[in-house]
Amino acid sequence: MIRINVGCGKTPTKGWRNFDNSPSLRLARYPRLAAIAAKLGFVNERQIEFIRFAREHAIEFGDAARGLPLEAGTVDVIYTSHMLEHLDRADAERFLRAATRLLRPGGSIRIAVPDLKKLVDAYVASGDGDAFMSASYLAEPRPKRLIPRLASVIVGERNHQWMYDGRSLSALLVRVGFVDARILLPGETGIERPGELDLRERERDSLYVEACRV
């Protein structure tokens, strides 16, 4: 049984194959290059720590927008948490169409993303526009110093590119070819053997949607 966690960051799932597109993962394979990058300021302490973490937990490099190193029709379950919102609309659709090809017939996808409705409800209740924008992560402060600016150009923007509510995410899944898209409560799943998958990951601000491949 092949189950994959795409964009796992520092929360890989035990017993699954875990992928992330952090440039730190490329550096993880070249310790000397990583040390040079750290001295030049291209990577910070947090990224250095992730390099160590990735080595220890066998996290593989995989770019969701450009395709994962897996054969079509071989994957049973795809899970991704707080990754999809970092892709623009075109790349998000490209990833999900690729997911339909990777999954075997009857395979499942589970997606957790920040819940736009929760953000909007909080804004309506508080009227605090600054808090809303800060929580949305739709814009991040631009680096001022040269090295961080160069690193940003190489790595790309890491802020959110789009936001979803349950209806819009379900509609997107159906549009790219999935069926039976359904919004779930934290802890709920239709996956038969989730293993150690965290079904409540970041539940405070998340929504969860699952769907199946025909």
Delimit the domains of the chain by residue range: 3-21+62-114+162-213
What average pLDDT does range 152-161 have in this prediction?
Answer: 65
- Window from 2-11, 20-29, 37-46 with minimum mean pLDDT: 37-46
98-116 confidence digits (pLDDT tens):
999 999 999 999 999 999 9
Beta bridge partner(s), residue 213: 178
Tell me the pLDDT band of 152, cut-offs 50, 70 and 90: low
Q: Is the pLDDT of residue 155 over 80?
A: no
Question: What pLDDT is recorded for position 109?
Answer: 99
Contact 181, 211 (CB under 8 A): yes
Contact 54, 174 (CB under 8 A): no
Q: Is the pLDDT of residue 143 over 70?
A: no
- Window from 2-6, 126-130, 146-150, 177-181 with minimum mean pLDDT: 146-150
What average pLDDT does range 179-200 have in this prediction?
Answer: 98
CA atoms within 13 A on the CB side of 83: 26
Question: What pLDDT is recorded for position 150?
Answer: 55
Highest mean pLDDT, choosing among 19-33, 37-51, 149-163, 178-192: 178-192
- Window from 42-51, 116-125, 183-192 with minimum mean pLDDT: 42-51
Question: What pLDDT is recorded for position 51?
Answer: 83
Question: What pLDDT is recorded for position 65?
Answer: 85
What average pLDDT does range 172-178 have in this prediction?
Answer: 98
Tell me the pLDDT band of 153, cut-offs 50, 70 and 90: very low
Rounded CA-CA distance 112/98 in Å is 18
Token reading at 40: 């030049």
Contacts of 8 (CB under 8 A, 6+ apart): 18, 19, 20, 59, 81
What average pLDDT does range 188-203 have in this prediction?
Answer: 97
Q: Is the pLDDT of residue 148 over 60?
A: no
**CATH superfamily of this structure's domain 3-21+62-114+162-213:** Vaccinia Virus protein VP39 (3.40.50.150)
26-58 confidence digits (pLDDT tens):
777 777 777 777 777 767 778 888 888 988 999
What percentage of the chain exceeds 90 in pLDDT? 71
Residue 48 CA: distances (Å) to CA of 21, 26, 37, 96, 142: 15, 12, 10, 30, 21
